[in-house]
């Protein structure tokens, strides 16, 4: 059965046998989970999957669904999905790959990996009732996409102890509004408060709580989003204080939600699921409240016990996820090793979200990676070959964007993906130079990079979107002061030749100087040196071709016996 609460919340019972308290689920989240293999609530063939819908829900409510669906079948589900992961993974790691964002493909794959138990539970839960059409009517078209028009109110806090001169509270709130928009929410209003210290009970002061409560009533707000991470107690107290069914969540939950919506590959989905569960684990106290409400009064002891059960279940799931992630990564490592054996230098694009990394990759390689004016358009690394006019080539990898206040659980979960960049020959830091907070964004990116052990990799800085600044020539003059900065417009192609030249010069610095005598029967090796190295000179001798060149390390290794030949 499905029912709609006063503010549009959807609840339905489930046919999967679960602890009695784990019975509520939301229809919107039902959709959300389709991008997450461990949470795949796929559907009968007639029910197609939607993307870009509002999926923001209290993390605790999300949690209940996770438990509900995954536990009975977790192991089977993991194995069942593995075959499809592999092909998907190969596609991503391969030299010429797609990041698999095509919605149609996702749907097909989803149907293929449908879990039997889920089909049964889905059928039973939909049998004879109207809940699908019920929540269908909730979706509205916005910017050509289906969303639930759900109103959010944003709250920021300026802590005196936190005046490190980076993002100001108002700027940070603006970014939070962009995040909310990306998640499909409508921002109804926002407020912020200056505090010496956060209130341990409600984070903000009681006066502010009352002010927000009035705004909630006046604006018909359904979700209040805080710009900083809140504790379980603060979340609970704020929900109580605001009353009704108003949901309270924080920036971290919002970002996790966006990642969950956007995870297009199995590895990304696993990483996000892991980050969500780790975020939820210390916030499980909400269960107790829920239990109290269900029984219509206090159920001391019982609730507490249930929390322990829930925590154990969650820890088991975290264990499953980590195991599965390890196996996916093992697979990725094999492809990486294979890729490294092809000695084409790898250049990684890093940068703040929305800086234009994917647009740059698309322009240089003719790729079709999703690039849009939304935060976190890209979650999975995509690698493509860039062929320069002079015949040289390198591999270009697009990566997930960074953001200030990046949830630590996410950084940890995505560490393996990000660590790929630590094996690249060059990092290209893409900056949206037209952004008013460009410097703060650069600092935020450098902060994440400093945690990733990439200090020894040469770096090139690209000031992108020069077409958007008010005085491009001034910006270009500024950039010319440093040989590590290149100005481009990834959108109209301005400066891309300079960019390729700068990449080549930087790559040469990371290569090894060799002089080697290549026997005539090793013509293929000579071709490779010309293709990926920088040949300074070559001459034919009786015994082969004598080359002097900068080459990538793997080629230098291959050339070792020939270098000895040359020396003797």
Ligand X SMILES: Nc1nc2c(ncn2[C@@H]2O[C@H](COP(=O)(O)OP(=O)(O)OP(=O)(O)O)[C@@H](O)[C@H]2O)c(=O)[nH]1
Q: Which residues bind ligand X (CB under 6 A)?
A: 351, 353-359, 371-373, 375-378, 401, 464-465, 467-468, 489-491
Note whether 377 binds Mg ion by CB under 5 A.
yes
| Min dist. Cβ of residue 272 to ligand X (A) | 15
Helices (H), 113-146: 116-126, 131-136
| Min dist. Cβ of residue 421 to Mg ion (A) | 14
Report how many residues bind Mg ion under the rule CB under 5 A. 4
| Min dist. Cβ of residue 438 to ligand X (A) | 13
| Min dist. Cβ of residue 178 to ligand X (A) | 10
Tell me how far the alpha carbon of residue 24 is from its chain's centroid.
27
Can you give the three-state secondary structure of 28-73, one letter per residue? Answer: HHHHHHHHCHHHCCCCCCCCCCCCCCCCCCCHHHHHHHHHHHHHHH
* Closer residue to Mg ion, CB minimum distance, 382 or 558: 382
Considering only the stretches 44-52, 91-99, 373-381, 457-465, report the one whose residues sit in contact with Mg ion under the rule CB under 5 A: 373-381
Whole-angstrom distance, CA of residue 79 vs CA of residue 47: 24
* Closer residue to ligand X, CB minimum distance, 373 or 542: 373
* Closer residue to Mg ion, CB minimum distance, 150 or 380: 380
| Min dist. Cβ of residue 420 to Mg ion (A) | 15
183 binds, among Mg ion, ligand X, none (CB under 5 to 8 A by kind): none
* Closer residue to ligand X, CB minimum distance, 236 or 363: 363
Q: What is the DSSP string of 428-461?
A: EEEEETTSTTHHHHHHHHHHHHHTTT-TTS-EEE
Contact yes or no for 299/258 (Cβ under 8 A): no
Residue of 246, 276, 248 whose CA lies nearest to 261 = 276
Tell me how far the alpha carbon of residue 286 is from its chain's centroid.
27
Contact yes or no for 215/189 (Cβ under 8 A): yes
At residue 536, the 3 state secondary structure works out as strand
* Closer residue to ligand X, CB minimum distance, 343 or 407: 407
Note whether 378 binds Mg ion by CB under 5 A.
yes
Whole-angstrom distance, CA of residue 422 vs CA of residue 350: 11
Residue of 398, 405, 371, 368 whose CA lies nearest to 382 = 398
Residue 292: enclosing H or E segment and its boundaries? helix 286-295
| Min dist. Cβ of residue 12 to ligand X (A) | 33
Tell me the residue nearest to Mg ion as measured from the CB. 378
Q: What is the DSSP string of 219-232?
A: HT--EEEESS---H
223 binds, among ligand X, Mg ion, none (CB under 5 to 8 A by kind): none
* Closer residue to ligand X, CB minimum distance, 424 or 489: 489
Considering only the stretches 190-198, 233-241, 278-286, 355-363, report the one whose residues sit in contact with Mg ion under the rule CB under 5 A: 355-363
Only one residue has tokens 């966006």, namely: 258
* Closer residue to Mg ion, CB minimum distance, 188 or 268: 268
* Closer residue to ligand X, CB minimum distance, 353 or 417: 353
Whole-angstrom distance, CA of residue 534 vs CA of residue 508: 7
* Closer residue to ligand X, CB minimum distance, 340 or 491: 491
| Min dist. Cβ of residue 534 to ligand X (A) | 29
* Closer residue to ligand X, CB minimum distance, 37 or 401: 401
Whole-angstrom distance, CA of residue 559 vs CA of residue 554: 9
490 binds, among ligand X, Mg ion, none (CB under 5 to 8 A by kind): ligand X
356 binds, among ligand X, Mg ion, none (CB under 5 to 8 A by kind): ligand X
Residue 153: enclosing H or E segment and its boundaries? strand 151-159
Note whether 358 binds Mg ion by CB under 5 A.
yes
| Min dist. Cβ of residue 402 to ligand X (A) | 8
Whole-angstrom distance, CA of residue 336 vs CA of residue 381: 12
* Closer residue to ligand X, CB minimum distance, 280 or 441: 441
375 binds, among Mg ion, ligand X, none (CB under 5 to 8 A by kind): ligand X
Note whether 362 binds Mg ion by CB under 5 A.
no
Whole-angstrom distance, CA of residue 559 vs CA of residue 280: 53
| Min dist. Cβ of residue 495 to ligand X (A) | 9
* Closer residue to ligand X, CB minimum distance, 475 or 490: 490
345 binds, among ligand X, Mg ion, none (CB under 5 to 8 A by kind): none
Binding mask 303-322 vs Mg ion (x if CB under 5 A, - otherwise)?
--------------------
Contact yes or no for 10/32 (Cβ under 8 A): no
At residue 321, the 3 state secondary structure works out as helix
At residue 283's C-alpha, the angle toward residues 281 and 289, to 5°, is 125
| Min dist. Cβ of residue 145 to Mg ion (A) | 18
Count CB atoms within 10 A of the CB of residue 130: 12
| Min dist. Cβ of residue 54 to Mg ion (A) | 22
Tell me the residue nearest to ligand X as measured from the CB. 401
Tell me how far the alpha carbon of residue 107 is from its chain's centroid.
20
* Closer residue to ligand X, CB minimum distance, 351 or 407: 351
| Min dist. Cβ of residue 451 to ligand X (A) | 18
Whole-angstrom distance, CA of residue 392 vs CA of residue 409: 40
Residue of 439, 379, 87, 409 whose CA lies nearest to 259 = 379
Whole-angstrom distance, CA of residue 337 vs CA of residue 373: 34
Whole-angstrom distance, CA of residue 568 vs CA of residue 562: 10
Please state at what angle helix 286-295 crosses helix 59-93, rounded to 10 degrees: 130
| Min dist. Cβ of residue 206 to Mg ion (A) | 42
Within 503-522, the residues that bind Mg ion by CB under 5 A are: none
List residues binding Mg ion (CB under 5 A): 357-358, 377-378
């Amino acid at each position: 059965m499905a029912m709609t609460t006063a503010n549009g919340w959807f609840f339905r019972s489930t046919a999967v046998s679960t602890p009695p308290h784990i019975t509520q689920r939301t229809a919107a989240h039902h959709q959300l989970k389709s991008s997450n293999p461990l949470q795949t609530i796929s559907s009968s063939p007639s029910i197609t999957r939607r993307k870009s819908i509002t999926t923001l829900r209290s993390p605790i409510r999300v949690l209940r669904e996770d438990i509900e669906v995954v536990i009975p079948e977790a192991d089977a589900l993991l194995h069942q999905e593995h075959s499809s992961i592999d092909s998907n993974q190969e596609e991503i790691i391969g030299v010429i790959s797609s990041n698999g964002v095509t919605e149609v493909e996702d749907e097909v794959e989803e149907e293929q990996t449908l879990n039997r138990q889920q089909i049964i539970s889905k059928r039973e839960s939909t049998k004879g009732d109207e809940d699908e059409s019920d929540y269908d009517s909730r979706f509205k078209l916005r910017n050509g996409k289906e969303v639930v028009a759900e109103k959010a109110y944003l709250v920021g806090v300026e802590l005196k102890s936190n005046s490190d001169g980076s993002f100001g509270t108002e700027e940070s709130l603006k970014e939070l509004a962009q995040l909310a928009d990306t998640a499909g929410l409508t921002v109804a209003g926002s407020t912020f408060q200056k505090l010496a210290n956060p209130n341990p009970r409600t984070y903000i002061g009681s006066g502010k709580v009352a002010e927000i409560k009035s705004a909630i009533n006046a604006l018909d707000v359904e979700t209040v989003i805080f710009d900083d991470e809140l504790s379980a107690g603060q979340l609970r107290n704020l929900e109580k204080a605001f009353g009704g069914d108003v949901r309270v969540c924080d920036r971290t939950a919002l970002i996790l939600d966006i990642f969950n919506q956007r995870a297009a590959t199995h590895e990304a989905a696993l990483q996000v699921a892991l980050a969500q569960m780790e975020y939820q684990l210390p916030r499980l106290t909400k269960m107790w409240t829920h239990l109290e409400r269900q029984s219509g009064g206090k159920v001391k002891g019982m609730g507490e016990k249930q929390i322990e059960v829930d925590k154990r279940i969650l820890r088991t799931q975290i264990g499953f996820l980590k195991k599965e992630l390890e196996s996916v990564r093992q697979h990725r490592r094999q492809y990486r090793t294979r890729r490294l054996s092809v000695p084409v230098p790898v250049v990684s694009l890093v940068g703040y979200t929305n800086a234009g990394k994917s647009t740059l990759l698309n322009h240089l390689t003719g790729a079709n990676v999703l690039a849009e004016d939304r935060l976190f358009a890209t979650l999975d690394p995509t690698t493509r070959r860039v062929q320069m006019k002079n015949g040289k080539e390198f591999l270009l990898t697009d990566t997930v964007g960074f953001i200030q206040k990046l949830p630590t659980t996410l950084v940890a979960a995505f560490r393996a993906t990000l660590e790929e960049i630590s094996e690249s020959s060059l990092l290209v830091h893409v900056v949206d130079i037209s952004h008013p907070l460009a410097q703060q964004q650069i600092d935020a990116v450098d902060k994440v990079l400093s945690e990733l052990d990439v200090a020894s990799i040469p770096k090139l800085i690209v000031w992108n979107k020069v077409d958007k600044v008010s005085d491009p020539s001034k910006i270009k003059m500024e950039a010319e002061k440093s040989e590590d900065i290149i100005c481009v417009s990834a959108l109209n192609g301005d400066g891309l030749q300079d960019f390729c030249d700068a990449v080549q010069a930087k790559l040469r610095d990371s290569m090894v100087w060799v002089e080697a005598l290549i026997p005539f029967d090793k013509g293929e090796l000579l071709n490779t040196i010309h293709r990926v190295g920088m040949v300074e000179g070559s001459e034919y001798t009786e015994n082969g071709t004598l080359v002097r060149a900068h080459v990538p390390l793997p080629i230098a290794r291959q050339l070792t016996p020939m270098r000895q030949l040359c020396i003797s």
